[in-house]
Chain A
Amino acid sequence: MITGAPIVVDGVSKRYETPSGPVAAVESVSLTVRPGEFISLLGPSGCGKSTVLGMVGGLLRPDTGRILIDALPIAGPNPKKVALVFQDPGLFPWRTALDNVGFGLELAGVAAARRREIALGLLEPMGLKGFEAKYPRELSGGMRQRVAIARALALDTPILLMDEPFGALDEQTRLLMGEWLVDIRRRTSRTIVFVTHSLYEAIALSDRIAVMTARPGRIKDVLEVTLPYPRVLDAPEAVDLHAKLWAQLREESLRAMDGQQ
């Protein structure tokens, strides 16, 4: 059983250079993620939630502040501690599903037989048994994303970062994937940071929800979700939470829209 690792984001900010001058994407973001918890980052478009995730994943360097994983500062991608899943599954089109899942292991020098074993072991509970020899071109959107998630899980990291992984999928698939993610989560105790703009997803999946402001993004509020699994979204507590979240989010969404002139 994996134990999740704690993440500390401390006073982090990041600027981007644009043709019309520097733009602050996020400013003074501070957040503590408990080991093994599922926390969602919820916010309007452009609030910088993907930027925050990118920094935790070591793909972007913060301009100020620091990020600690397991009490150690990060200095780039850390495949031993952090695995990422993006909205675009980013599968290698020339590799079969099996070889895609084994990619990270290949980079780490794991032997072929062992890679195959691990990959098959991950694909089967995802309902992809029998599809391991298929190419991404032959898989549906939902299947591709599952392969992408399996690829991330293969690294066996204590932390999983997911950037709107179900954003490109249709509603039904999204609902099913959500259920299935909850299932994975129950079987391991990884720390999961989940970026989304969907209130539904945030409530259905998370232990805590961090709401971000419009750009430049800051953490506006962090709400606890104490509903038991499986979550019933028309239960009064859920409806209540939804209202509270929307009240916060709506304000920021309006602000984001105004800012987009």
Chain B
Amino acid sequence: MGRLRVLGWQALSVGAALLAWEAAVRVGLLDAAFIPAPSAVLRALAATAADTLPRLGDTLVKTLLGYALAVGVGVPAGLVLGSRPVAHAVAMPYVVALYGIPKILILPWIALIFGIGLSTAALSAAVFAVFPVVVLIAAGTRDVDPAIVTVAVSMGASRAQIARKVLLPAVVPSVLTAMRVAMVFAMLGALLAEMLAGNRGMGFQMQRMALAFRAPELFAATAIVSVLSISAVLFLEHLNERLGRWR
């Protein structure tokens, strides 16, 4: 099946689903108080448009701050763990264990210390995003082809030169993958913190609308965040493609 036909069917399916949804609400099959019609959601989108941008910006700032922190800590940590087998053997079980613990458990505590707002959300984003970064980059560093390292050693490369000219470029694909994954996790952490202990941002908005039973506004906010996230991931995937011509 050609790409165009697949796209056509996808668009058709989504369109049909939306139409069926709209019809179901109008007919009364779905209770509009719980599941608003797409038209109502669109209207809510328009109505809240003015406030949406600052809210989105707020969430984005927290996401990006946390993301930067996670990458800044996680990439070197992953590189170190991946390039030193002893460190890897000793530390990795702990990293995996911590990764497996639901991080939301410590969010209340972070909120207790840092209060409601930006710091908590940014820190939360960082905590969520750092683990996949460390794990993915450690794995990528370990998988560097030993043959090319041998070549560099045989040519008299110093440790620093090997790290800079061999390990680093070899690890770039893993770094890009990790950064893509980390983005979703960072956003997750920021939104979660906003829902749990926030006073601004999209997460807070969604929680507030849910508790106030304002379904159209809630769905509108959900749609906006979803589109933002999907766009970010698509962009990072595109970047991944462009930077990896040699693979």
**Which residues on A are within 8 Å of B, measured CB to CB?**
57-59, 76-80, 82-84, 86, 88, 90-95, 103-104, 106-108, 135-137, 151, 155
Contacts and interface: CB of A to CB of B under 8 A. Distances in A.
B147 A90 contact: yes
A94 B244 CA distance: 8
B155 A104 contact: yes
Contacts of B165: 103, 106-107
16 contacts: A57-B154, A59-B154, A76-B156, A77-B155, A80-B156, A82-B154, A83-B154, A86-B150, A92-B148, A92-B166, A93-B170, A94-B172, A103-B151, A108-B156, A135-B245, A155-B155
Which of A78, A103, A137 is most buried by chain B, counting CB atoms within 10 A of its CB?
A103
Given A92-B166, A94-B246, A106-B165, A78 B156 contact: yes
Contacts of B166: 92
Contacts of A135: 245-246
Given A90-B147, A91-B148, A77 B154 contact: yes
A78 B156 CA distance: 6
Given A79-B156, A107-B156, A90 B169 contact: no
A88 B147 CA distance: 7
Interface string B203-247: 000000000000000000000000000000000000000000111
Nearest to B156: A79
Interface residues of B, number: 20
A240 to B, nearest CB: 37
B148 A90 contact: yes
- B contact patch SS: helix
A217 B153 CA distance: 25
B241 to A, nearest CB: 15
Nearest to B151: A90
Given A59-B150, A86-B150, A88-B147, A93 B247 contact: yes
B145 interface: yes
A97 to B, nearest CB: 11
A37 B170 CA distance: 37
Closest 7 CB pairs of A and B: A79-B156, A90-B147, A90-B151, A88-B147, A135-B246, A104-B155, A84-B154
Given A86-B150, A93-B247, 19 more contacts: A59-B153, A59-B154, A77-B154, A78-B156, A82-B154, A84-B151, A84-B154, A86-B151, A88-B147, A90-B148, A92-B148, A92-B166, A92-B169, A92-B170, A94-B169, A103-B151, A104-B155, A107-B161, A137-B247
Contacts of B139: none
A86 B147 contact: yes
A183 B172 CA distance: 39
Contacts of A94: 169-170, 172, 246
Contacts of B155: 77, 79, 83, 103-104, 107, 155
A93 B145 CA distance: 10
B156 A77 contact: yes
A143 B112 CA distance: 63
